[in-house]
Amino acid sequence: MEMVSRQSRHPDVGAYMSELGRRACIASCAMACMESVAKDAALAAIANALENESQHLLAENRRNLDAGERNGLDAALLDRLALTDQRVQTMAQGLCEFVVHADPIGEITELKERPSGIPVGKMRVPAIEHIHHTYGSGHTDAIVTEDLARARRFLTEVDSSSVMVNASTRFADGHEYGSGAEIGISTDKLRARAPVGLKGLTSQKFIVLGDGHIRE
Q: Quick check: is 210 in a domain? A: no
Q: Quick check: is 2 in a domain? A: no
Q: Are 144 and 166 in contact (CB under 8 A)?
A: yes
Express each pLDDT in 11-41 by its tens digit.
688 888 889 888 887 787 777 777 888 888 9
Instruction: Name the residue range of residue 118's domain.
Output: 108-201
Question: Is the same domain home to 91 and 23?
Answer: yes
Question: Is the same domain home to 174 and 143?
Answer: yes
Q: Are 61 and 20 in contact (CB under 8 A)?
A: no
How does residue 57 score in pLDDT terms, banded at 50, 70 and 90?
A: very high
Q: Are 133 and 165 in contact (CB under 8 A)?
A: no
Express each pLDDT in 37-50 by its tens digit.
888 898 899 999 99
Tell me how many domains the chain contains.
Answer: 2
**pTM, two decimal places:** 0.52
How far apart (Å, rounded) are the C-alpha atoms in residues 128 and 182? 28
Q: Torsions phi, psi of 85, nearest 5?
A: -55, -40
CA distances 169 to 73, 91, 141, 196, 207, Å, are 52, 43, 7, 16, 39
